[in-house]
Amino acid sequence: MTAARVTNARVTNAMHDAWETTMSKTREPGKPAVDRRSFFKALGAGAALAATPAMVTPAAAVDPGAEETKARYRESEHVKDFYRVNRY
Amino acid sequence: MARMKFLCDADRCIECNACVTACKNENEVPWGINRRRVVTINDGKPGERSISMACMHCTDAPCMAVCPVDCFYNTADGVVLHSKDLCIGCGYCFYACPFGAPQYPKIGNFGTRGKMDKCTFCAGGPEADLSPAEFQKYGSNRLAEGKLPLCAEMCSTKSLLAGDGEIIAQIYKERVVKRGYGSGAWGWQTAYKETIAI
């Protein structure tokens, strides 16, 4: 949960930085105030940086211990009765 | 070591669906999910056959092979179980399973799926035996109580067998030797004469 929050905060910061960078550029005549290509390039780089720790997080596979995988079946009287009546 | 198996004697199954009902009630299976189903081939025609199907607890389970989060595990009894805490409801196991055993609760609109649910051979899950958490997620743990799956124990015609694979195979062999199989079975010629042969 905490790691996810940190990642989200990093992405938000990266977006903010990218926006600041592009907005602070001097506007050339005939060009829009926000250069779309450079904005998304900076955004992509920031997002990739923020996502890196999440990718190296080890996967959590199920690791059942001896208690979970132990044999529970036993040939109780109940089970013997089941086998007996199925032979009829 | 005994390996748990199901075996459905198609010569005896009368499609009463008691196994389906018993399973749903015993395990308090969520709405819309059937861990066990009765399939009928050539329904309504002379010689129709019914068979009760659920997870067959494969030795080399395809669901286990394709799971991207490795949430499946085998017990020493040969029962295939899974952890609902890890399951992400991706549906890979449903496509891999040759028996259509994995089921998913519908948790919202637009086809969103919940955690996978399937037959546990009435053996619960990774939680502590007979705990409320285990029952809530996986249903009852009859194996830990020294019993067998209720679907088999409830079967009115003793068609569905469950338990130690070697013992139930022996029981089935005894039946076939005594009564025959398919159109060679006792009573078949009385019902269908020579018109249908299986």
Q: Full-prediction pTM beyond 0.95?
A: no
Q: How far is A81 from chain B (nearest CA, A)?
A: 10
Which residue, among A62, A63, A85, would best test binding to B if mutated, counting the most B CBs under 10 Å from its CB? A62
Q: Chain A residues with CB inside 8 Å of B77's CB?
A: 71-73
Each domain of chain A, given as residue ranges in start order, spans: 1-59
Contacts of B14 (CB under 8 A, 6+ apart): B50, B156, B157, B159
B43-97 pLDDT, tens digit per residue, is 998 888 999 999 999 999 999 999 999 999 999 999 999 999 999 999 999 999 9
Neighbours of B105 (CB within 10 A): 16
State the Cα–Cα distance between residues B191 and B70, nearest whole angstrom: 50
Task: Over range B138-145, report the average pLDDT.
Answer: 96
Residue type, B134: E
Q: Is the pLDDT of residue B163 over 90?
A: yes
CB distance from B164 to chain A under 8 Å?
Answer: yes
In this complex, the residue of A61, A71, A74 whose CB is nearest that of residue B69 is A61
B93 touching A, CB under 8 A?
Answer: no
> If we measure between CA atoms, which residue out of B8, B9, B37 comes closest to residue B22?
B37
CATH value of B4-192 in 3.30.70.20, 3.30.460.80, 3.40.50.1980, 3.40.50.1100: 3.30.70.20
Does B166 touch chain A if contact means CB atoms closer than 8 Å? no
Residue B86, SS3? Answer: coil
CB-based contact B174 A87, cutoff 8 Å:
yes
| Count of alpha carbons within 13 angstroms of residue B2, beta-carbon side | 18
> DSSP E strands: which ranges in chain B?
4-8, 37-41, 49-53, 72-74, 80-82, 160-164
What per-residue string of b and e applies to B54-66 under the rule 16 or more CB within 10 Å gives b? Answer: bbbbbeebebbee
B147: closest CA of chain A, how far (Å): 6
Looking at the predicted structure, is the pLDDT value of residue A32 above 50?
Answer: yes
For chain B positions 40-69, those within 8 Å of chain A (CB to CB) are 69
Q: Domain residues of chain B, as ranges?
A: 4-192
What is the overall mean pLDDT for chain B?
93
Q: Does B154 touch chain A (CB under 8 A)?
A: no
Q: In A, what residues contact B, Cβ < 8 A?
A: 59-62, 64, 68-76, 78-79, 82-83, 85-88
Residues of B with Cβ-Cβ distance to A59 under 8 angstroms: 69-70
Q: What are phi and psi of B93, to 5 degrees?
A: -65, -30
Interface contact A68-B126, CB threshold 8 A:
yes
Q: In Å, how far is B133's CA from the nearest CA of chain A?
A: 14
pLDDT of residue B70: 94
Helix, strand and coil in chain A, % to nearest 5: 65, 0, 35
Cβ B127 vs Cβ B133: under 8 Å: yes
Return d(Cα A28, Cα B101) in angstroms, integer: 64
CB atoms within 10 A of CB A34: 12
Which structure tokens are listed for B120? Answer: 């546990």
pLDDT (tens digit per residue) in A52-82 = 655 556 666 777 888 889 999 999 999 999 9
Residue A23 reports pLDDT greater than 70 = no
CB contact under 8 A, A78 and B146: yes
CA of A12 to nearest chain B CA: how many angstroms apart?
A: 26
Q: Are B17 and B163 in contact (CB under 8 A)?
A: no
Report how far apart, in Å, the C-alpha atoms of A34 and of each of A13, A20, A28, A44, B161 are.
Answer: 18, 10, 11, 16, 72
Q: Which residues of B142-175 are buried (b: 16+ CB within 10 A; e: fewer)?
A: bbbeebbbbbbbbbeebbbbbbbbebbeebbeeb
Complex ipTM value: 0.91
Residues B113 and B90: their CA atoms lie apart, in Å, by: 8
